[in-house]
Amino acid sequence: MSSLPATGTTTFTNPVLPGFHPDPSVCRVGEDYYLVCSSFEYFPGVPVFHSQDLVHWTQIGNALDRTSQLRLPPDSPSSGGIYAPTLRHHDGRFWLIVTNVSADGNMLFTATDPAGPWSDPIRLPGVPGIDPDLAWDEDGTCWCTVAGVGQVRLDPSTGETLGPCRRIWSGSPGAKAPEAPHLYRMGDHWYLLIAEGGTERCHGVSIARSRTPDGPFEPCPANPILTHRGTDHPIQNTGHADLVQGPDGSWWMVLLGVRPGGGTPGWHALGRETYLVPVEWADGWPVVGELSPTMAAPPWPLRPGATTPARDDFDVSDLAPHWISLRDRPAENCTTKERPGWLTLRARGASPDATDVTFVGRRQQHVSCRVRASIDVGEGRGGLTVRLDEAHHYAVEATSTELVVTARIGPLSTVVASGPVPPGPVILRVEVAAVEEVRDARTGPDTVALGFEDQDGTFRALAALDGKYLTTEVAGGFTGRVLGMFAASGSVHFDWFDYEPAP
């Protein structure tokens, strides 16, 4: 990767990957950093990012972009699919190990270029559980550690396990869900980093060490080395971390966290996001710095990369890597080639309630934002949706004669508002506005307004809905909001799509 021009900035803003980017795993090769995240029911899977400063990240692809790599059956549930990848660089090659909980279990992929292409999967039937990690010792032995915390020796070239999986540590006494293990060799010790306490408000990061990669492991006396449990810190659910060393010898941790908003208990809409925090070492143990929304920059020049474009005019044949769909994306149902300069979606499922709805979206990355799209439904039906899962979404939908706002909240589905299609090109619009004042404990984190634009650009909201019903605290699961386009009947064409943050 070529060097990018540096800036003189001395601080950065957390999260470094805002929006639904959970379970980060990172590795460094020379002066370049690469990071991957979980993708759950979305296709393509496992977004891959590049950075030269750990702060600014550019998506360079998706590791699992073919159905031969990623099988997500039509009936696989939301918050199923792809869990907790680990990315490592070893012996001149990138290695990605991950779990597909909806099909195929644990799998291993390799690439010489992290932007792809990545190999077809090496199946790992002998590796149990989820959250697999890879580490190699000096004699070339590959150790695979999984949530629990169990460990097995692995032949990564074949997927064969060499002996049984054995428990090497159970985490802190009384803490549930020891998971997200990462094993590192540092000096005379092997360090085993885990998340524990569950991925909700009690989430935390703990660590243990051993003279050998398979234990016995001695827990750090200061565990958990990072947690915000029991505090009113604006960043909560902190955990699922990975360590990386900078070229200057400094250490850094990436981890997930959320930003709850509104009243009690606090609702996070964007999902679990990726944060960055410095790490020092004292008496052979890592000491994690204070994690905050504004942080001192690393001691090297910040080099911003390419940002995700606000607008897509669909003028190229392949969709940009930030666009995601549900479970698959058959070319016959999603194409920019049928009508040049337009994205054509051909309906399968009859609404965003359906697991097979034809959908193309992008992650919501700002607590306040605006989404617009120019749509031609012809004789079909489709529109814009704000999606958490099949049972929790809002939509503004167009037919040839009518605009309709719908809301699905758990078992309840209703038409909230409707109106005639305006003259001229139909531009649908959604505005998400974070609350400015918490009126009482029930105040949600934001308001979601859905409607259309007049010819002069004036926003005409047909409905404004409480955003708390599209959050993990209400819906459950592990994902965040995705904003996008769908077809519910016939063929629906989109001339452009625009996403912008709002103040």
User: Which residue is listed with tokens 């529109």?
Assistant: 383
- For residues 203 and 248, membership in a common domain is answered with yes
- For residues 101 and 141, membership in a common domain is answered with yes
**How many other CB atoms sit within 10 Å of the CB of residue 433?**
17
**Residue-number span of the structural domain to which 234 is assigned:** 11-296
Q: Final residue of a domain: which of 296, 319, 351?
A: 296
Does residue 4 fall inside a structural domain?
A: no
Rounded distance between C-alpha atoms, residue 287 and residue 370, angstroms: 40
pLDDT in tens, the chain (503 residues): 555 555 667 899 999 999 999 999 999 999 999 999 999 999 999 999 999 999 999 999 999 999 999 999 999 999 999 999 999 999 999 999 999 999 999 999 999 999 999 999 999 999 999 999 999 999 999 999 999 999 999 999 999 999 999 999 999 999 999 999 999 999 999 999 999 999 999 999 999 999 999 999 999 999 999 999 999 999 999 999 999 999 999 999 999 999 999 999 999 999 999 999 999 999 999 999 999 999 999 999 999 988 899 999 999 999 999 999 999 999 999 999 999 999 999 999 999 999 999 999 999 999 999 999 999 999 999 999 999 999 999 999 999 999 999 999 999 999 999 999 999 899 999 999 999 999 999 999 999 999 999 999 999 999 999 999 999 999 999 999 999 999 999 999 999 999 999 98
Does residue 191 fall inside a structural domain?
A: yes
Rounded distance between C-alpha atoms, residue 212 and residue 207, angstroms: 15
Rounded distance between C-alpha atoms, residue 9 and residue 299, angstroms: 11
Catalytically active residues are 23, 179
Does residue 301 fall inside a structural domain?
A: no
Which H or E run contains 463? strand 459-466
3-class secondary-structure state, position 241: strand
- For residues 209 and 115, membership in a common domain is answered with yes
Does residue 142 fall inside a structural domain?
A: yes
Rounded distance between C-alpha atoms, residue 479 and residue 389, angstroms: 8
Cross-sheet strand order for the sheet of 122-123: 82-90, 93-100, 105-111, 122-123
Taking alpha carbons only, the member of 481, 431, 453, 436 closest to residue 20 is 481
- For residues 328 and 465, membership in a common domain is answered with yes
**What does pTM read for this prediction?**
0.97
- For residues 353 and 252, membership in a common domain is answered with no
DSSP state letter for 77 = P
User: Which residue is listed with tokens 């001395």?
Assistant: 10
b (16+ CB within 10 A) / e for 204-220: bbbbbbbeebbbebebb
- For residues 233 and 117, membership in a common domain is answered with yes
- For residues 254 and 328, membership in a common domain is answered with no
Taking alpha carbons only, the member of 236, 237, 172 closest to residue 207 is 172
Domain count, the chain: 2
- For residues 270 and 318, membership in a common domain is answered with no
Does residue 243 fall inside a structural domain?
A: yes
Does residue 372 fall inside a structural domain?
A: yes
- For residues 33 and 59, membership in a common domain is answered with yes
Rounded distance between C-alpha atoms, residue 451 and residue 417, angstroms: 9
CATH number of domain containing 71? 2.115.10.20
Rounded distance between C-alpha atoms, residue 181 and residue 123, angstroms: 20
Q: For the chain, what is the largest distance between any 2 Cα atoms, rounded to a whole number of angstroms?
A: 73
3-class secondary-structure state, position 331: coil
3-class secondary-structure state, position 468: helix
- For residues 157 and 284, membership in a common domain is answered with yes
Give the total residue count for the chain.
503
CATH number of domain containing 432? 2.60.120.200
Does residue 117 fall inside a structural domain?
A: yes
C-alpha dist (Å) from residue 208 to 183, 371, 441: 10, 45, 40
- For residues 283 and 347, membership in a common domain is answered with no
Does residue 484 fall inside a structural domain?
A: yes
- For residues 187 and 91, membership in a common domain is answered with yes
Q: Final residue of a domain: which of 262, 296, 330?
A: 296
